[in-house]
Amino acid sequence: MCHPVNHDRFHGRIRDSRRDCDWAGCEERGEFRAPGGRSSGFDGPGDYRWFCLDHVREFNAAYDAFKGMTTEEIWAAQSPVSGWERETRAFNPTAGIDAAPRWADYADPLEAISARARARKPAERKDGRSISPDERRAFDLLGLKLDSDLRALRSRYSELVRRYHPDRNGGDRSFETRLQGVVEAYQLLRKSPVFV
């Protein structure tokens, strides 16, 4: 039995797309998906933009996955074991969910549930941009105020890397877990729409 061959030369094309190309002024169909302003994370898969063939090529030619990273960060991101040194939420015994509410503190169980939801609600910066719970934890881990700018983020990141990295702190490897948390928090925040 012979299987039909897909003769479309372009991997990832969504032929029956009803979307318009997101490139300003373009009236073609958006048949190719590209990363949007919000990357995937705890809150969901993230945003996407849709482009026609010409504009997805232009977008891809200008896309820099390592933008804003230091040489050390690029080397770490390209490592074959990158990401395997930590437990993901799916394999974490608690599945990434904090402890159960202290039911005795509430007269009504719905109060406990709503208090937990309020705690997980995105915070907001003075400029009106909302901050997801993951971003808030990253700000806390780095010891930054929610209204910090990109310069403060980079400065704090450099300071913590100097403090925790064995090459910079006299070979003390006891801070490796803390360093990994700092790197992950920085990676999350530097790509966040909060700093766009």
Q: What's the CATH code of the domain at 143?
A: 1.10.287.110
Global pTM value: 0.41
Q: What pLDDT score does 155 carry?
A: 92
Inform me whether the pLDDT recorded for 7 exceeds 90: no
Q: To the nearest whole number, what is the mean pLDDT of the chain? A: 78
Same-domain check for residues 19 and 77: no
Of the listed ranges 11-25, 76-90, 118-132, the least confidently predicted one is 76-90
Whether residue 189 is found in the same domain as residue 135: yes
**The predicted structure's pLDDT at residue 9:** 63
Q: Do 81 and 34 share a structural domain?
A: no
- Establish if 187 belongs to a structural domain: yes
Residue 4 located in a structural domain: no
In the predicted structure, residue 80 carries a pLDDT above the cut 90? no
Are 152 and 129 contained in the same domain? Answer: yes
Domain ranges, residue 151: 71-195
Three-state secondary structure of the chain: CCCCCCCCCCCCCCCCCCCECCCCCCCCECCEEEECCCCCECCECCCEEEECHHHHHHHHHHCCCCCCCCHHHHHHHHCCCCCCCCCCHHHCCCCCCCCCCCHHHCCCHHHHHHHHHHHHCCEECCCCCEECHHHHHHHHHHCCCCCCCHHHHHHHHHHHHHHHCCCCCCCCHHHHHHHHHHHHHHHHHHCCHHHC
Question: Is position 33 within any domain?
Answer: yes
Residue 5 within a domain? no
**Domain shared by 113 and 26, yes or no:** no
- For the residues 129-156, what does the mean pLDDT come to? 88
Give the total number of structural domains in the chain.
2
185 and 131 in a common domain: yes
Specify whether 104 is located in the same domain as 191: yes
Q: pLDDT value at position 87?
A: 60
